[in-house]
Chain A
């Protein structure tokens, strides 16, 4: 069954009060929602709270879902909004993801020029390197982090990410590019330091 048909069938069953459909929805979508929440909140307990809030809000408001986006995109949107509310409460000075002006910000200029692609593959994928990669995501500005996680890690399309975040597709592409450049810089410093230590 295609994802669209699966969504449609699941939606009809949830609306009809079929409890096993809610169970199926949780089973299918909870991992992705948790991963997004974890990377936005950077705390497993907070991420769990976001997941709970997401499914409660979704089931409560299922009649408001208009089906213009996929069910998973809608759930990501609810999770994202729930996470942003919590981050705002945690840090009142927090800049909302949808307010910054893309045009006002220059792209980060690449500075690190070490070709670490030449390092052995086992060096690039060892657990310390992966921990550094996770830390680097966590330290991206939230507006870039949300786009990067949805596009690159959850593999939503540009259109789905734009729908989930309430952004234009061009803004999604610009933010993804900016996030990639920042992460490249960060990994370049990390792998360059490792390469010189191992020499």
Chain B
């Protein structure tokens, strides 16, 4: 994406993917993507990166840590 005509679109790519870009910017990016394979790859892989992170399993607060937290809060008078 280092060639002419691509770099100035870089700042707007997240807005584009999040549906927050202006109609003008969307049209410009879509037109550019039709002609520029590198930008198409960057946008597709950026979109996929976000999608994969959304699917990442979320660790839970462990039960033993929760018990220790309860003990601490009990000692401080916030729980019983």
Chain A residues within CB distance 8 Å of chain B: 19, 22-23, 26, 30-31, 33-35, 38, 44, 48, 51-52, 55-56, 59-60, 107, 109-117, 124-125, 129-130, 133-134, 152-153, 173, 176-177, 180-181, 183-184, 187-188
Interface string of B48-73 (1 = CB under 8 A from A): 11101111111111100110111011
Q: How far is the CA of A152 from the CA of B7 in the complex (A)?
A: 24
Task: Name B68's contact: one of A23, A38, A48, A188 (CB within 8 Å).
Answer: A48
Q: Given that A116-B48, A133-B56, A134-B56 are known contacts, is A110 also in contact with B61, CB under 8 Å in the complex? A: no
Sorting the interface of chain B by its residue count into under 10, 10 to 19, 20 to 34 or 35 or more gives 35 or more
What's the nearest-Cβ distance from chain B to residue A52, in Å? Answer: 5
Contact A56–B72 (Cβ < 8 Å): yes
6 contacts between A and B (CB under 8 A): A19-B80, A31-B60, A44-B65, A56-B76, A152-B53, A176-B14
Judge whether B68 and A116 touch: CB under 8 Å: no
- Is the pair A55, B54 in contact by a Cβ cutoff of 8 Å? no
Residues from chain B with Cβ under 8 Å of A52 in the complex: 68-69, 72
Inter-subunit contact A117/B79 (CB<8 Å): no
Find B14's partner among A114, A124, A125, A173 (CB 8 Å cutoff): A173
Contacting residues, chain A, for B72 (C-beta < 8 A):
52, 56
